[in-house]
Structure 1
Amino acid sequence: MKTNWVMVAALAAAGLVGCGSSSNDNTTLVTKPETPKIPEGTTVSFALMETTDLHANVLSYNYYSLSEDTSLGLERTSTLIQAARAENPNNVLLDDGDTIQGTLLGDLQALTSPVPCSGTLAIHKAMNALKFDGGGMGNHEFNYGLPYLSQVTNTEFNIPGVSKPAGTCGAPTFPLVLSNVTGVASQKPIFQPYAVLPRDFAATAPDGSKLTVKLNIGIMSFVPPQILDWDQKNLAGKVAVTGSVEAAKQYVPELRSKGADVVVALSHGGLDPSPYSPKMENQSYHLTSTGIDALMIGHSHLVFPKGKEANAPALDPSFAALPANAKIDAINGFVNNVPTVMAQSWGRRLGIIKMTMVYQGGKWVTQPAKTNVESRGFKYTDGSTLVKADPELSKLIKDEHEATVAYAKQPLGVSTDFEMSSYFSLVGDVSAIQLVNQAQLDYVKNFIASSTDPVLSTYKNIPVISCSAPFKAGRNGASDFTDVAPDASASKPVGLQIRNPGDLYLYGNNNLQAVKIKGSDLKAWLEMSAKQFGQIDPAKTTEQDLVPSYGTIFNFDVFYAEGNALKYQIDVSKPAGSRIVNLSFQGKPVADGDDFIVATNDYRAGGGGNVPGIDGSKTIIKSPDANQAVVSNYLQKLGKTTGKVTLADNGSAQSWSFVKVKTAGPVFLRSAPGHLPLAKSAGLAQVAAEGGLDASGFAKYSIDLSK
């Protein structure tokens, strides 16, 4: 009889026939082989690997100091990745966002010499070479605007007025996902909200035999809702942000229905166990209630869990201070029993979640007792030896690196006679802050004076003050400090360069804004800033850390008025919220009803940092100019008028000091080693001596609060 091949194919697809002879003739029926049945009890182990907050740090190089920095860089993370892959042949490599912005390299490719559609960002070139499997978004992805993000990710957002260049643009070769941001007009996600990554992994049957199984890894990604405030100029009216928990509850079931055996949340937010709100910035803790299997977090630039290498740095105090009922295990890496990792920032660590699953009842089931979590650093082998850089990455972006160095060296046309540094900003040194405040203040005063707006005209007699934080003051390690050196030769000065404003004001995406506040607002603002300090117990005989965590150093605003007319003191022996005393302006106590205009940035004016009452409602000036550009222009203005920046005029007006207090035991400040002479030259008598190094490479400087 004639064989009905259509029927055979249908039966084979249904699994009802196999290879063999027909019962009616000797014709062999060739069919597609069945997928081998997975024996009950089969186990598979695999590693989920994470990078986060790379911030365009491809190489171990500091473009602000024009020097190698072996403490950071994806070229060294690459070595960690290769080692982890060798240890775990079954692996998936993921990135948690804040990838494209953060160095002069990133700024050059986005702003000064924008990469064309035909090109690929240096950071994406490196990630493509490393064969990343997937990635999420961070808040800083939006800093350069939606058109740029659309181009460099080769993604059409379907947002009116935002279009990608025609054709295929250079972009990551791995899927990018974002689960909680939608277009206002389309009400649809601007990126794909999730992806399923099918992987063939080696597994072990109960009898010890080896087999290959298909495991589907599902990934989602979440950004803080504050992107709408922080990048209002780029996002207002264009995108909306959903709470991460709400988005996860929508997409986790979809991922499961599409075959995801493992669901991984890439959450660009830290761990905040306070009651959930869709508006909270650090939402990661609450994602553990949504049915995910693994959690990879970022944004906070911290290490979670504690490093397992010898001499690993201590846990950040923010983890130690969490309530016991929060169920956060910062030693083993679990949050509400969900394995969780944060790989610090700038490529300094690799997050590794090694999971084991067993095939039971027709599905893969996680084995928590066989799950290990590690945030692996450059010294993981013995606690002291740095891993070497992968030479292939430096070759890959050689042209981009050289272009950035050349750009960094371009002159500004002004010299300086003093060192602008942030090593001791937390004890009163303003050498790296005053000039920023002067630039902002000058801009706002001129803006109001030249404005024809009738409302702004009424503000001409209100005092203008300014605030800025020491953005580079230890948050990202002992090499993360501002240090603009003075000219080595007075007879032939080198002068300041393009790189220096970025060292003084790190965030090139911030735009200058001004707010109108009362004296009561000013005091509340200063109290929030003073939270940076730990509460010092004068009676305690054991050592106390003056600044236990640098995680929120960008919230330590230092205020300034012309002629150093604003003065205040901080009493660190008092609890947070009641530390500001002797607040005065032009020699008179500041009254609650006094009016001030404060020059700041759009992040702070819009509510960033949660300063009470500063939520966007008090903003009176929204400048089109970036703060970093304002600083650069001010330096060039000084070059044309005086020719130089001087310590007397631009770096010695200390507006604040500590209330003197005698302590029974030692108090210390962590900063970069070798800079005690700078403290002495700045007149900081309270910096008494330089101590030894801690596990993170910080020197522990002795602080005498009685001076």
Structure 2
Amino acid sequence: MPLNRRDFVARSAAVAAGTAVVAGATSSTAEAASPESQQAGKKPKPNPTYSFTVLGTTDVHGNCVNWDYFNNAEYDDSAHNDVGLAKISTMVNGLREEIGHDRTLLIDAGDIIQGTQLSYYYARVDPITVGGRKAPKHPMALAMNHIRYDAAALGNHEFNYGIPTLRAFERQCDFPLLAANALDPKTNKPAFRPFIIKRICVPNLPDIKVGIVGLTNPGIAIWDKANVSGQMTFGGIAEQAAIYVPKARSAGADVVVVSSHTGIDEASSYGDQIPWPEDAAAEMAQQVPGIDAILVGHTHKEVDQRLVTNTATGKTVVLSEPLKWGMRLTRFDFEVELVHGGWEVTSCVASVLNSNTYEEDPKVVKLLADEHAAVVAYVNQVIGTSTVDLNIARAPFQDVPIVDLIGKVMVDAVTTGLVGTSYASLPVLAQAAPFNRTADIPAGTVRLRDAAGLYIYENTLAAMVLTGAQLVDYIEFSANYYNTLAVGAPIVESALTNANNLPDYNYDEVYGLSYDIDVSQPAGSRILNVTYNGAALDPTQQFVLAINNYRANGGGNFPHVATATQIWTSSDEIRNTMIAWVKAKGEINPADFAASPGWRLVRAGVPLY
């Protein structure tokens, strides 16, 4: 469980009470005199020891203040978490006061500049790439500079807006962005700094040199192929760590902390499309000597502490992941000892602190007040009306009109895009998923934030040609999302979905087809009664599938997509296409797009709902 402020203050006091300060360092009390020295009446002089702390965030995703731009209210969820760097700032300030500013470092493990309408606004609406020196400052750079981050690894979502936007953000940061495995294809050398060394000053003794190695996710090559192809390649996490951890040590690092945008040991969402695993922190800890701790990211999970033994050295590597969005802060507490003129780690303990017990730092709130106000005005502009309330809550279990709206918008956009081409006569279907379980488009006035809350990712649109048989394989693969429900067993919806930890965004329905998903059958044998336009689906018929770029590039490892013929793309986000569609129509009416009969869940042929 995460520690609150009271817990970690008590913990710090306990640590302090167990040490004796000598000339700015501590003298080890655990080292007993040898029998020989006792006989001689002498005690060996203990080696100096010292302590310092590395704090870490990850997957902040554009959350600067505790605000939900989609709901136009303070953020809240079922666990009553809070979000944002303003709260992280308060936590960090308190810890620096408690531990000492000169013995505290702060790092991040990536996914910084995408995820909220605040971050989107300064990438697309008032972009930081336009205006030269007069370009707006990115709110995340403003906040992180104010909090005084020491370094940040790049996440895969840093590349969503293209490399020019990422480079503009990098120029605005007072701290380095690290990625030892983001490589220049011409030189095969890192396109960003692979590591830095920070010094912890110890009075009257040598500085402690802390190496911070940054690594990003190799899946970028798939997920953001259009933005990075030919401009950057991405090596394996453990493989590049094996190169740059020794380099950091050779450059003088006494301690090495890796900040890596990767999970601990989960299966890769892209299968074997690239040779490097997506979640490789445990592998890196096991295989690469010289790492003391790893700040983990990417999977949006809370891991207080995970211990992994390095197979080469037998030493323990400490891993920690602080959830997401500024909800948590990881704390690595290091104890080091001066041995033969160099500092060696004797202890490292990790914990995760919860931000929801803290107030926002008023300085951060004030610093971003203008940017926040501009985005609130932007998301609250009226774009149309709706004849009924459209809610997504039932989307994992039933075909609901609000997800059909996504499909309809994508079908219309692709149909228009194919006019005049040789593919114009093919029927167009669409892939859509329940991206946000809290999405709701109210009856009456519809604002931009209502549509934006339905499609929360910066995906763009593509069109692929697939056959009927390939589409059946596609929806069969998607049905892996469900756990098997035995005949006669009670329906427990909380246990029905997200089988094998599959996220909601990897559950696709295909808008334009009707089919049953029999959840009493094992995965791979669930799709029945597939029809198109009221007739049984012809397995040889060709269709155009409107699909987002993440899926088109192989994200989720859906069958046939990566090798299908791509016939059209758009550089505009699907979210913006949806907003424009609503503005053009003026009114959202499910009669214009709701699928009938669509898809349904069945058990042994009997509908669940």
Q: TM-score range by the shorter chain?
A: 0.7 to 0.9
The aligned residue for residue 294 of structure 1 is 293
What is the 5 A alignment of 1:343-492?
343-367=322-346, 370-379=347-356, 386-412=357-383, 414-451=384-421, 457=422, 459-473=423-437, 481-487=438-444
> Would the aligned equivalents of 1:432 and 1:470 in 2 still touch at CA under 8 Å?
no
Q: Does 1:568 align with 2:538?
A: no
Q: TM-score, normalised by structure 1?
A: 0.72
Name the amino acid aligned to 1:659: V
> Helix, strand or coil: the match of 2:177?
coil
Moved more, 595-604 or 571-580: 571-580
Q: 1:559 to 1:420 in 2, by over 3 A?
A: same
One-letter identity of the residue aligned with 1:265: V
Equivalence for 1:334: 307
Which amino acid in structure 2 is aligned with residue 409 of structure 1?
N
Residue by residue, what CA displacement relative to the aligned partner does 1:286-321 show, whole Å, maximum 9, x if unpaired?
Answer: 21121211111111111113xxxxxxxxxxxxxxxx
Partner deviation per Cα, 1:308-361 (whole Å, 9 max, x = no partner):
xxxxxxxxxxxxxxxxxxxxxxxx422344211111111111112223233334
Task: Give the drift of 1:56.
Answer: 0.9
Give 1:530's aligned amino acid: A
Q: Counterpart of 2:435 in structure 1: which amino acid?
A: F
- 271-280 or 618-627: which moved more? 271-280
Q: Contact between 1:295 and 1:338, CA under 8 Å: does it hold in 2?
A: yes
Deviations 1:471-491 (A, max 9, x none): 112xxxxxxx2122221xxxx
Cα 1:41–1:575 shift into 2, 3 Å: farther
Q: Per residue, is there more helix in 1 or in 2?
A: 2
Alignment of 1:201-212 (within 5 A): 201=202
1:511 corresponds in structure 2 to 460
Deviates more, 1:651-660 or 1:132-141: 651-660
Structure 1 residue identity aligned to 2:589: T
Change (3 A) 1:582 1:46: farther
Deviation of the 1:231 alpha carbon: 2.0
Task: Report 1:51-66 matches (<5 A).
Answer: 51-66=57-72
Contact 2:386 2:441 in 1 (8 A): no
Alpha-carbon distance in structure 1 between the residues aligned to 2:202 and 2:478: 50
Q: Could you tell me whether the CA contact under 8 Å between 2:51 and 2:336 is conserved in 1?
A: yes
Residues 220-235 of structure 1: pairs in structure 2 closer than 5 A: 220-235=213-228
Q: Specify the alignment match of 2:92 in structure 1.
A: 81
**Map of 1:180 onto structure 2:** 181
SS in 1 for 2:230: coil
User: What displacement does 1:540 show?
Assistant: 6.2
> 2:61–2:116: 8 Å Cα contact kept in structure 1?
yes
**2:537 alignment counterpart:** 590
Deviations 1:477-516 (A, max 9, x none): xxxx2122221xxxxxxx32332332121123x2210111
Given candidates 454, 467, 471, the residue that maps to 1:522 is 471
Distance change in 2, residues 1:437/1:201 (3 Å): farther
Cα offset for 1:661?
A: 6.3
**Rounded Cα–Cα distance in structure 2 between residues aligned with 1:402 and 1:36:** 48
Change (3 A) 1:151 1:219: same
Q: Does 1:604 align with 2:551?
A: yes
Quote the offset at 1:271 in angstroms.
Answer: 2.5
Letter in 2 for 1:281: E
Structure 2 runs not aligned, ≥5 long:
1-23, 28-44, 77-81, 310-315
Q: Secondary structure at the match of 2:382?
A: coil
Residue in structure 2 matched with residue 131 of structure 1 by the alignment: 148
Output the CA distance in 1 between the equivalents of 2:597 and 2:198: 56
Q: Report % sequence identity.
A: 30
1:536 paired to 2:485 = yes
1:283 maps to 280
Q: Is the 8 A contact 1:428 1:654 kept in 2?
A: no
SS of match in other structure, 1:425: coil
What's the CA shift for 1:40?
A: 5.1
CA distance in 1, matches of 2:56, 2:428: 45
Contact 1:302 1:342 (8 Å CA) reproduced = yes
Q: Compared with structure 1, are the counterparts of its residues 559 and 249 closer, same or farther at alpha carbon in structure 2 (3 Å cutoff)?
A: same
Alpha-carbon separation, structure 1, partners of 2:403 and 2:246: 50
Corresponding letter in the other structure for 1:221: G
Distance 1:593 1:402, change over 3 A: same
> Shift in Å at residue 548 of structure 1?
4.9
Alignment RMSD (CA, Å): 2.8
CA 201–484 in structure 1, closer or farther in 2 if over 3 Å, else same: farther
Equivalent residue, structure 1, for 2:313: none
**Residue 270 of structure 1: aligned partner:** 263
Contact 1:64–1:503 under 8 Å retained in 2:
yes
Shift of 1:653: 4.5
Cα 1:618–1:387, aligned 2, differ >3 Å: closer, same or farther?
A: same
Give TM-score, length-normalised by structure 2: 0.83
Query: How far apart, CA to CA, are the structure 1 residues paired with 2:450 and 2:266?
Result: 39
Q: Which has the larger radius of gyration?
A: 1
Q: What is the SS of the residue equivalent to 2:571?
A: strand
Q: Tell me the CA shift for residue 636 of structure 1.
A: 2.0
Task: Count residues in correspondence.
Answer: 544
Do 1:302 and 1:551's aligned partners in 2 also have CA atoms closer than 8 Å? Answer: no
Kindly state the Cα deviation for residue 541 of structure 1 after the two structures are TM-superposed. 7.7
Question: Structure 1: how far apart are the matches of 2:424 and 2:318?
Answer: 56
